[in-house]
Amino acid sequence: MGIRLPSAEEYEQKGAANSGDFTLLPADDYMVEVKDIIVQKDQVDIYSKETPPRVRDTLQVRCKVVSFANGDTLIDENGDDITDERLLFAFVDPTRVGIYQGQASFARKFFASALGVDFNGVIEFDDYNDLLGKRLIAVAIIKPNSKGVKKNKVIDFRPIRRRPARAKADVDPKVEAEAKLSDTDVVAKAKEIFEDDLPF
């Protein structure tokens, strides 16, 4: 038999039980691509002040990290290059999609950023599958979880900024036509300028 799984003691010695087998991403902005959206049914809202606590469906969003938001290649928290695929996870409550005092909710920012639409406008899509493969910016930090283990946590989403296309200057069609010279015109103009210095 060629398969051996390490014991809990071996994991403790190696440190894998607390830190995982890979390093974390530094706190920064990342370009990510939505890889998976898993609907988690009947999750207890741990922040609910109601008794019994509110139960709702949540979305576990897995995003593949493409690069830093500015396009730089990925490095880990120690400054070493990252060669394997990295994922960031976000938990989105699809029932909380409002805007309060001008601030869009986390879920609303995710949906709007993935679709490239304004946070304040109507956001429409047929199915969560419409979001798969979409790229957006995720803001990640390093934060200890409830057990004290440091993890990357997505705290915000925003759309990828696209520069607007430059407006074409109003050009008189005659001037534009004159600007486009034929090969014959170019040769004639060159002969006129350089006279006897041309080899033809």
Rounded Cα–Cα distance for residues 94 and 81 (Å): 35
Return the amino acid letter for 23: T
Spell out the domain ranges in the chain. 23-158
Q: Which residues of 21-45 are buried (b: 16+ CB within 10 A; e: fewer)?
A: eeebbbebebbbebeebeeeeebee
Residue located via tokens 């039980």: 17
Looking at residue 96, its pLDDT comes to 87
Residue range 16-74, pLDDT digits in tens: 444 455 789 999 999 999 999 999 888 777 777 778 877 888 999 999 999 999 999 99
End-to-end CA distance of the chain: 81
Residue range 24-39, pLDDT digits in tens: 999 999 999 999 999 9
Residue range 99-141, pLDDT digits in tens: 988 899 999 999 999 999 999 999 999 999 999 999 999 999 9
Q: Is 155 helix (H, G, I), strand (E, B) or coil?
A: strand
Report DSSP state, residue 128.
Answer: G
Residue located via tokens 């486009």: 180
Who has greater pLDDT, 89 or 168? Answer: 89
CATH of domain 23-158: 2.40.50
Tokens at residue 89, please? 């996870």
Cis bond before residue 26 (omega within 30° of 0): no
The DSSP bridge partners found for residue 63 are: 34, 88
